Homo-oligomer: A and B are copies of this chain.
Amino acid sequence: MDALSKNKIKWIRSLRLKKNRDAEGLFVVEGTKMVQEILATQLSLVECLVTTDESTDSEAVTYLTDIATMKSISGLSTPSSLLAVVRKPEFTDSKSSWTLALDGVQDPGNMGTIIRTADWFGITEIVCSQNTVDCFNPKVIQSTMGSIFRVHVKYEKLEDYFDADDRPVFGALLEGENMHSVEAPVRGILLMGNEGNGISESLVNSITHPIHIPGKGGAESLNVSVATGILLSKFCR
């Protein structure tokens, strides 16, 4: 294994920032299970960092380092023994019958869980407004549990995306129709809004079917990843 230079440490750390991930086309994943998921895909590991003398079964350059250094590089509170720098996946534009659209989801944990949930229900495309959290953010990556390698997450102006698409747009709105009264079509777009503010005013006009999840308790709202799961479970059987 190779020696780990200070410059290399600095470079890996720099990938915490979106602008550097975008410029390099790279991102960081941590943990043996996540790295195994990568090896099972067509993605390429660029470089690996390990704290124990373990093999990654890949052709990537591998550096052996100590736990303190790993801790200084890792984005996790309890770093794993394995960290990898990975080239971002390239997806061909193949639409699933249902697309998930996210308008301004901010919390990395929610974002990761939503990607994982979409993957569970066979959704291969998520389209996000530009102010949605970056899907290659380390915290998002960790909570996708590997689904980031199977779901194509892209960022564009949602108004334009909806305009160019003939599928019905189901939007989660508090004043929408009860989801249980709505017939689920074979294909469509499900639009979910920001954790606090919901769907932007400018997008509400694009919604052809406003829907809501009926509740009878005291909570003001549902967590956005839970709400997404409930609606995908209805639409993507």
Contacts and interface: CB of A to CB of B under 8 A. Distances in A.
Interface stretch (A3-11, A19-27, A60-68, A220-228): A220-228
> In the complex, which range does the number of interface residues on chain A fall in?
35 or more
A153 interface: no
How many monomers of this chain does the complex have?
A: 2
Nearest to A144: B219
Contacts of A228: 226
Interface string A202-237: 000000000001111111111101111110010011
A122 interface: yes
A96 to B, nearest CB: 9
Contacts of A113: 223, 225-226
Interface of A: 109, 113, 116-124, 143, 145-147, 150, 180, 213-223, 225-230, 233, 236-237
